Structure 1
Amino acid sequence: LDDLFTENPKVVDGMIEIYKSWVDFGIDGFRIDTVKHVDLPFWQRFGPAIMEHAKAKGRDDFFMFGEVYDTSPGTMSLYSTSGRLPGTLDFGFQSTAVDYAMGNSAKQLQELYAGDNAYLDADSNAYSLTTFLGNHDMGRIGSFLVGASDDDVDLLKRDRLAMSLMYLSRGQPVTYYGDEQGFVGWGGDKDSRQDMFTTRVEQYAEDAIIGGTPGARDYYGTDVPVYQHIAALTKLRADHPALANGIQIERFAADGEGVYAFSRIDRESNVEYLVAVNNAKDPQAVRVATATPGAAFASVFGSGEGATSGTDGSLEVTVPGQEALVLKAGAAIPAALHPPTVTAVKAGNGGPLTGQAKLTADVAPGAPVEVTFAGRPKGTGEWTVLGTDDNPAYGRYLDTSAVVPGDYEVVAVARTLDGKVGYASASTTVAAGAEGGTQVTAPGSYQAKAGCSGDWQPDCTATTLTDPDGDGTYTLELTG
């Protein structure tokens, strides 16, 4: 921040030593505030140094995530890819999940998860994101939902639906204190900090309580509706680890209010779970694809019933209104009949690669696969692993500022769950330009119209300048 000279190497070294001591003390991790207001090179040194120290101390479960107050994957992912932090707070999920719980289109969830490739690199991905529904700055989930709810019963259903989506989808869920007690608040950073003990603040005593009644009393109950719902979700994740860390593959998204469905696949047993949420008030029947044909899917969560998939893997399910349904296949996904076919690998838009260049791989339909991208300067022997994508559309962004300009090769290796492999490669050229992680941007009042989430954002990749001729002249072409 402005009062600390974080560009000075001595300051960086000092900060690293300070926070190493907290690791030694035994804390579980860091939630890092205001990350995007500190220069990127600071995080590029700080993140790896702290994580390496934690690993050396036997703290393999140590974790850090940064607050990047932005909903754009391009902005948030900058700090977990180029910035080398393990993860960031997923403000995109927060915004989209709340909108969905309020009754908006399931297509918004589809768009959210379609941006996950931005977070993919060799040591992190969207599964590392910290998901949440509200916090001390913006307000509680209840304060967002109360205006969209017909009555107290409807409010409780919407709240539980949002919690279900957070706990059953990719990412690491965080519940803001008091949400489990049904706190609502008035939103903002001053009206969402209610006392858990008996309050003397009149406003807090009069605040609505989801699933309960207002009042000045202690709020530590384990028998209240929202607490019990969250407890059931956490037990479900513990009993079925695939719901916490399994592969997530989209299966269905209603064009409007209704069902969003996705598979979670256990990476050890290859057993598939189908998760379906429904924000409509009435039950919705949908037919979805699965990777497990001819299997009985039993209900393990929700009031809905199980179903049996057809020989083509399709499954017809009815999802109760404003609920989540989780089904578990009674058999593992069958072994692939043949190796996967990677039909094409594409790098950028056909010209020399600049900025954050998109790499994609087209894989013929079939069994689920994981696609690992790797690259190298043409003619060299060492491949650098760029990341592994486990759900379509398969892709990854290449930070060309970290690559030596010149001819470049990309390979995409697809692997089925039972180990069959197929691959394809492509050649391209990395343009001369900013190297060593340097990013040149032109912050200004035009950035929101140019694709950034707001104006005056020096870290927005949508307005990155490039030096295609390698002569030190950086340009940005804008139209419209």
Structure 2
Amino acid sequence: MKKRFVLFVVTSLLIGLASTSFAAPVVDPVKVGLSKDLIYFVFPDRYLNGDTSNDSFPGYNPRDTAFFHGGDLKGLTGTCSDGDNGLARIKKLGFTAIWVTPLVVQQKPTPNGAGYHGYWGVDFLNVDPHLGTKADMVAFAACAKKLNLKLILDIVTNHTGDVISYNDKTAYLSSDLLNAKNPAWLNDLSNYHNVGSMSNCWGDGPCIQTGDFFGLDDIATEKPVVYNGWADVYGQWIRDYGISGFRVDTARHVDDAFFKNWSPQINAAAKSVGIDNFTIFGEVWDVNPINLMNYVRRNKIQTVLDFPFQRTAAEFAAGYSDATVVENLFAYDDLYTTATSDASNLVTFLGNHDMGRAAKIIESKRINKASELLPRTLLGHALMYLTRGIPSVYYGDEVGMIGTGSGSDQLARQDMFSTKVGIWKTEARVGSNPIGTGDAFSITDSHPIAKYLKVLSALRGSNPGLANSSMQVRYAKDELLVISKKDESENREYLVAFNSSTKAIKASINTATSTGGWKALLGKPAVVNKSEVVTITVPALSTVVLKANKGIDKTDVKVGKLTSKMDFLTGYYETKAAVTSKDLLKVTFSARTAADKPWISLGTDTNSPYIVYIDPLEFAEQKLELRAEVINSKGKKYELPYTSLTIPAPRR
């Protein structure tokens, strides 16, 4: 059974903290609040045991991968001082946000397992006693605030723990479980679909949205009592702790309108304590960006986990696929571009608690020499940190955890502290020896992955243009991918090259910078610069970063036509500005329904070819006038001739 997570709510224990005005960032309507952050994703139960007094509850068995192991909020919080293994360690690794699995009270353990993962929630207003108390959560939030670490809580809105039973096709609650859940509306059977398993449900509606997810009780998220109830529950979390974001579990399984009904209430709760750019990202397990983008554009999930990136990055790092596959992935980024979203908001990752760890996945993609696994794992992390998106690293990956057997699900949830699970003591690690009776904390400072993540974080910190800024693919051939990134404030160009070959690769790259030369910030490339062409030799299995010594100066723009036609794969209207330039441009697309009507932004594209996609459901049976405005790096504006588009009625 897959294990996921749920959050809990507390009552007014944190009155003082709730009344504090949390720092509100300058809000960009397109960028989410976490857009520049680096996320550390962690299981509190598997991180560090800070309070052994809570180990005695039913479900504690540190020798079995399916039960609680003793990690808790006190262990994760630590002393909040330098040198400690709690949040201070995570901060030292370069992370700016921490995403924790749910802490709500779980259903009673079964002979086969317990809810150490947080996915079997029944009481959403209290902390599971295995993990601590509400007071421990107060201390955790206060430490994170002190260290300037943003808190991201994993929540579940699609289902609860498995409490409801079936007699044939009739749902019922046994007498001892009539009030098993909290708040009270969760005990009302009419707030559930009650149609059996998602794999074989009965009744109306798609099973993927109405069926029980691996036996867990599926909630009727289309009902006002449900989405308003969840808004009350999770809104209180924000008010009490100043949380910056939610990761929403199984987001593809809720009602299509759920996020439209729920998210505005969550954003209002955040604004009430001064958080003006709260981030909600959903787990939509789909590797096809054409499918994924509709959850953002039509279902109105603010953003999602980037499963297409995960697959593509792991395959490129492994040498299984070449650079053109990565280029093709980024070409789909235009699907996410609207007036309020773009692909830079996607939360990227290499491995997770369900699929397995980064090194294990990279290792599984292609048979390579054992000695290649470490540099290939570093390459995968560099690709995640230095391209677009919000990187998230799964705890333990920084110290080379791999996994045994399939390496997925329970086998990807190792203890950071000294483990009592036999296979975890002896399983291989990348970059270090099997852990034996030791712990992961003692090897962190010397581990090559942890050290590299610190380097990448510091590089982003001192060069904001590398931290999820505008990006242009410059070269993609065989095992070499080269991108340009741009520092808007300095008008400075970076070149980032990724080589997944076991041999050095030499290539000539066209740039927007012709004078001043380039400085190497990462790696040891050989560089020859002639005008705007940079010839670079990238060492085997490595990443290099170059920064231009002077600002962008190749800013000439050739403007052509603006066209719009239906894309047969998506059903959207592909609207393309024919613009040619070596510069890293911004092209903003707009539409209006009549000459006396205001222009409506369709989004801004910063990656050639310059395209947005118009959703026909937003403008059904309307005639649109379209325009595109180009801005080069010197601020000069160009406008393409207008064009028109008539969108027919939707097909019935």
Q: Place the TM-score, normalised by the shorter chain, in its bin.
A: 0.7 to 0.9
Is the alpha carbon distance of 1:350 and 1:305 closer, same or farther for their aligned partners in structure 2, counting shifts above 3 Å?
Answer: closer
Partner of 1:356: 572
CA distance in 1, matches of 2:231, 2:421: 41
- After superposition, give the CA deviation of every residue in 1:208-247 in whole Å (9 maximum; x if it has no partner): 1111111231101222111101111111111111111321
Partner of 2:400: 182
Confirm or deny: 8 A CA contact 2:280 2:303 kept in the other structure.
Answer: yes
Confirm or deny: 8 A CA contact 1:335 1:418 kept in the other structure.
Answer: no
Question: 2:265 is aligned with what amino acid?
Answer: A
Question: 1:247 is aligned with what amino acid?
Answer: S
Structure 1: which 5+ runs fail to align? Answer: 434-466, 468-473, 475-480
CA distance in 2, matches of 1:6, 1:225: 45
1:169 deviates by 0.7
Partner of 1:470: none
**Which residue, out of 279, 285, 293, partners 2:506?**
285
1:380 deviates by 3.8
Match of 1:190, SS state, is helix
- Which structure's CA Rg is the greater one? 2
1:412 deviates by 1.0
Is the alpha carbon distance of 1:297 and 1:177 closer, same or farther for their aligned partners in structure 2, counting shifts above 3 Å?
Answer: same
CA distance in 2, matches of 1:51, 1:384: 23
Question: 1:237 is aligned with what amino acid?
Answer: R
1:209-228 equivalence runs, <5 A: 209-214=429-434, 215-220=436-441, 221-228=444-451
TM-score normalised by structure 2 residue count: 0.63
Partner of 2:627: 411
Partner of 1:233: 456
**Which residue, out of 247, 252, 257, partners 1:36?**
252
1:4-403 equivalence runs, <5 A: 4-25=219-240, 26-103=242-319, 104-147=321-364, 148=366, 150-186=368-404, 187-214=407-434, 215-220=436-441, 221-254=444-477, 256=478, 258-308=479-529, 310-311=530-531, 313-334=532-553, 336=555, 340-349=557-566, 355-403=571-619
1:356 deviates by 2.2
Question: 1:361 is aligned with what amino acid?
Answer: A
Partner of 1:457: none
Match of 2:629, SS state, is strand
- After superposition, give the CA deviation of every residue in 1:48-71 in whole Å (9 maximum; x if it has no partner): 432344245321453221111011
- After superposition, give the CA deviation of every residue in 1:301-345 in whole Å (9 maximum; x if it has no partner): 11224443x22x1110000100000000000112735xx443111
Confirm or deny: 8 A CA contact 1:153 1:211 kept in the other structure.
Answer: no
Match of 2:225, SS state, is helix
Question: 1:325 is aligned with what amino acid?
Answer: V
Structure 2: which 5+ runs fail to align? Answer: 1-157, 159-209, 211-217
Confirm or deny: 8 A CA contact 1:152 1:210 kept in the other structure.
Answer: no
Match of 2:602, SS state, is strand
1:371 deviates by 0.8
Confirm or deny: 8 A CA contact 1:288 1:314 kept in the other structure.
Answer: yes
Q: Which stretch of structure 1 is more off in the superposition, 21-30 or 121-130?
A: 21-30
CA distance in 1, matches of 2:550, 2:452: 28
CA distance in 2, matches of 1:41, 1:289: 46
Partner of 1:454: none
Confirm or deny: 8 A CA contact 1:282 1:321 kept in the other structure.
Answer: yes
CA distance in 1, matches of 2:617, 2:279: 27
Confirm or deny: 8 A CA contact 1:117 1:389 kept in the other structure.
Answer: yes
Is the alpha carbon distance of 1:83 and 1:48 closer, same or farther for their aligned partners in structure 2, counting shifts above 3 Å?
Answer: farther
Confirm or deny: 8 A CA contact 1:149 1:155 kept in the other structure.
Answer: no
Partner of 2:77: none
Is the alpha carbon distance of 1:97 and 1:230 closer, same or farther for their aligned partners in structure 2, counting shifts above 3 Å?
Answer: same
Match of 1:226, SS state, is helix
1:184 deviates by 0.3
CA distance in 2, matches of 1:274, 1:5: 49
Identity level (%): 35
Question: 1:244 is aligned with what amino acid?
Answer: A
CA distance in 1, matches of 2:574, 2:368: 44
CA distance in 2, matches of 1:120, 1:65: 16
CA distance in 1, matches of 2:354, 2:249: 12
Is the alpha carbon distance of 1:218 and 1:384 closer, same or farther for their aligned partners in structure 2, counting shifts above 3 Å?
Answer: same
Question: 1:205 is aligned with what amino acid?
Answer: K
Is the alpha carbon distance of 1:49 and 1:359 closer, same or farther for their aligned partners in structure 2, counting shifts above 3 Å?
Answer: farther
Match of 1:174, SS state, is strand
- After superposition, give the CA deviation of every residue in 1:376-402 in whole Å (9 maximum; x if it has no partner): 213342111111001111111111212
